[in-house]
Amino acid sequence: MNNGQRLTDRLIRSRLPQPPERIEITDSATPGLFLRGHTKRAVWTLRRKVDGQMVRQVLGEFPTIGANDARSLAGQAVEAARTGPVAGIDAGTTLRNVLDAWSDARSDLRRTEARKAALARAFPDLLPRATVTMDTPVFLRAADGLSAGARVKALRDMRAVASWAASRGLMPEGVLQNIKLERGGERDYVPEVEHVHAYWKACEVLDEVRCRFFRFIVLSAWRKSEVREMRYDWIDGDKVVVPAAHTKTKKDQVHPLPEGWKDLIGTGDGIVFPRDDGRPLSDYTDGHHKRVIEEAGVPHFTLHDLRRAFATHMADAGGDLLSIELCLGHSPSRVLGSVGAVYNRSQRFDMRRQLLDQWAATVKTRDIATLAAE
């Protein structure tokens, strides 16, 4: 434990040790406030007396909550304990009531119901809780079990709901409003071939449409949004043309259609992977993805990590780098440079089809040797 000084984010980063060593750093500017942990996980805690008993209140993790935010939260906690319940808020109003009211007020917006359902899945234990007792640390602690991306998405959506609710006297003001929510640095995790194979097999625990959906993501290395919105009228013989409106590059992308994909796509009209009402599957796939991960018994990875797995394992096996980038829907200039991409317009369809066939064989059999097959 240090002797105490006014903490800054920069000072904290310089002090935190590598795990498993831990350190406790106190903040001289706010009595009872301290940070404890290491570079992988450090938690802000407020130590204070309540009814003569020393209690600790967890405020959240660093760096999601910086030093200034932690001091602000500590002040809010002390003030809330001093003043009691927030005046004007019905003690019987629960988070479930707030989500229902918010959803009804925004029923004209297309994704409202999906966001409401996702928030209910992210914060199930808070749904029956009275909103008068809620503050920022409550939601930060509840979100700790989510993956990094899901955590940021859930807290950002909840922040919008909290702001709406506070303006209508349904929730205390300031909840989640002064917290920086960032995903953090670039991920560098590459799932092993064995883990991708196990994930592929475990997709069987899902319903038929979602099983095909997740397996197509594995084989195609497409972005999730492109697979969600895929339509049968994009298919043109042995190719799939993804319109510019659905691509990250905002340009039409033409992909080969390997034989191995056809069983997953099937035949029909409209959306390839639809809900019962014909609309694309919800963008909130974390719950289904987590279920597959758990069934497979593999370390957690994201759907986007599957793109990295494809690119890395195919490159390690000697795959053509430009073909790999084109499979991922990236601009050719990443490999050729801005000038080279002006002149070299090859789409490498045959090479890409071979790479995708080899990747499919590897995923299904775990036989890495198939990657090197001609």
Whether 184 has a pLDDT exceeding 60, the answer reads no
Mean pLDDT of 19-30: 88
With 0.75 as the threshold, say if the pTM is over it. Answer: no
Would you tell me how many other CB atoms lie within 10 Å of the CB of residue 262?
Answer: 12
- Look at residue 371 and tell me whether its pLDDT is greater than 50: no
Q: What is the pLDDT of residue 332?
A: 78
For tokens 């805690």, the residue is: 45
- In the predicted structure, residue 166 carries a pLDDT above the cut 90: no
What average pLDDT does the chain have? 84
Distance from the first to the final alpha carbon of the chain: 61
Which residues, 6 or more positions from 23, have their beta carbon under 8 angstroms from its beta carbon?
1, 2, 15, 16, 17, 36, 37, 38
Q: Where are the alpha helices (DSSP H) in the chain?
A: 9-15, 67-83, 95-105, 112-122, 136-142, 148-166, 193-202, 208-220, 224-228, 259-265, 286-296, 303-316, 321-327, 333-343, 349-365
**In the predicted structure, residue 246 carries a pLDDT above the cut 70:** yes
CA atoms within 13 A on the CB side of 212: 18
Q: How large a percentage of the chain has pLDDT more than 90? A: 33
What pLDDT score does 41 carry? Answer: 83
Q: Which amino acid is present at 302? A: T
pLDDT digits (tens, 9 = 90+) for 37-80: 888 888 888 888 766 777 777 777 888 788 888 888 788 777 76
Rounded to the nearest 10 degrees, the angle between the axes of helix 208-220 and helix 193-202 is 160
Question: Which domains, ranges and CATH numbers included, belong to the chain?
Answer: 1-84 (3.30.160.390), 90-185 (1.10.150), 193-372 (1.10.443.10)
Give the separation between CA 151 and CA 220, rounded to whole angstroms: 27
Strand pairing partners for 349? none
For the residues 291-296, what does the mean pLDDT come to?
92
Higher pLDDT, 211 or 345: 211
Residues 64, 123: Cα–Cα separation, whole Å: 18
Residue with the two structure tokens 């056809």: 262
pLDDT at 280 over 70: yes
Q: What percent of the chain has pLDDT over 70?
A: 87
Give the integer Cα–Cα distance in Å for 26 and 232: 60
CA distance 297 to 234: 35
Range of 67-71, 135-139, 203-207 with top mean pLDDT: 203-207
Starting from the edge strand earliest in sequence, which strands make up the sheet with 53-62, in order?
A: 23-26, 33-37, 42-50, 53-62
Burial state string for 18-49 with b = 16 or more CB within 10 A and e = fewer than 16: eeeeeeebbbeebebbbbbbeeeebbbbbebe
Q: Interior CA angle at 354 toward 353 and 356, to 5°?
A: 65
Confidence tier at 185 by pLDDT (50, 70, 90):
very low
| Average of per-residue pLDDT across 11-33 | 89
Confidence of residue 339 (pLDDT cuts 50, 70, 90): low
Q: 204 with 223: CB under 8 angstroms?
A: no
- How far is residue 340's CA from residue 349's CA, in Å, rounded to a whole number? 19
Q: Is pLDDT of 240 > 90?
A: yes
Structure tokens at 115: 């966001």
CB 177 within 8 A of CB 65: no
Token representation of residue 155: 């807290």
